Amino acid sequence: MNPKALLRRRGVQIVAAVAALSLLATRPAHAMHIMEGFLPWQWALFWWLVMLPFWVWGVRRIMTLLRERPETRMMLGVAGAFAFVLSSLKLPSVTGSSSHPTGTGLGAMLFGPAVMSVLGTIVLLFQALLIAHGGLTTLGANAFSMAVVGPFVAWSVWRLLRRRSLWLAVFLAAALANLSTYGVTSAQLALAYADAAGGFIGAFMKFSAIFAVTQLPLAVSEGILTVLLFNALQNNAAAEMRSLGALENVA
């Protein structure tokens, strides 16, 4: 089987996994995705407005990418499906809440943060509509943390470390994108619900503590899984990755 056919087959398998997860994840989530109606309307509107320039930037970048490199369409699908699958996995936390991976690091390394601002938002939109994971009013806030900050962190770490150690760069990019997403979500909640005694800092510490115990091992697990998938893509779709510049200046 040639590499393109194998990549297409893997893409179909990922989509099938997405469908299975969608059927299983039917309960509303009280996790990193801020749930529908949880933010005051002023903050919900604020984060929507913050996201608008990122969406415009991302759409333009995707249109340019598809026009100049149409062969990367399958890779876009794989990156989006990977983020959907991982961020749909809701794992219970010892604090009584729940946590999940994000899956945005892979797409950021392949396409850059602009593309992931759109792919990540599409993932969040489908999750809000299909599995009650997150919400529409909170889509701007959720997109900023998972589809903007996480990918920017992943892309920055990747660019900084890929000349020294490929596997370490991939691992840290995915893991730190995960942790930064939760850090920003905690900050967003703290801004909306400042602690009566400790203010923003006190609220931020409380919200961060809710996820910290579960999120640290999840970040490590996501880093390892992303390394495995990156290696699989490198072995079976090296031509597409080189056309994207993802294998330039790597160790």
Q: DSSP letter at 97?
A: S
C-alpha to C-alpha distance for 20 and 33, rounded to whole angstroms: 20
How many other CB atoms are there within 10 angstroms of residue 27's CB atom?
Answer: 11
Q: What are phi and psi of 135, to 5 degrees?
A: -165, 175
Structural domains in the chain plus CATH codes = 34-244 (1.10.1760.20)
Residue 231 structure tokens? 């290696």
Specify the residue for token string 């470390």: 161
| CA distances, 226 to each of 31, 35, 39, 100, 104 (Å) | 22, 27, 32, 14, 10
Strand-pairing partners, residue 98, are 92
| pTM, rounded to two decimals | 0.83
Instruction: Collect all residues with Cβ–Cβ distance below 8 Å to 95 and sequence separation of at least 6.
Output: 209, 210, 211, 213, 214
**Tens place of pLDDT per residue across the chain (251 aa):** 554 555 455 544 544 444 444 433 333 334 567 888 889 999 999 999 999 999 999 999 999 999 998 888 889 999 999 999 888 877 655 544 557 889 999 999 999 999 999 999 999 999 888 887 788 999 999 999 999 999 999 999 999 999 899 999 999 999 999 999 999 998 999 999 988 888 999 989 988 887 776 788 889 999 999 999 999 998 888 888 888 888 777 76
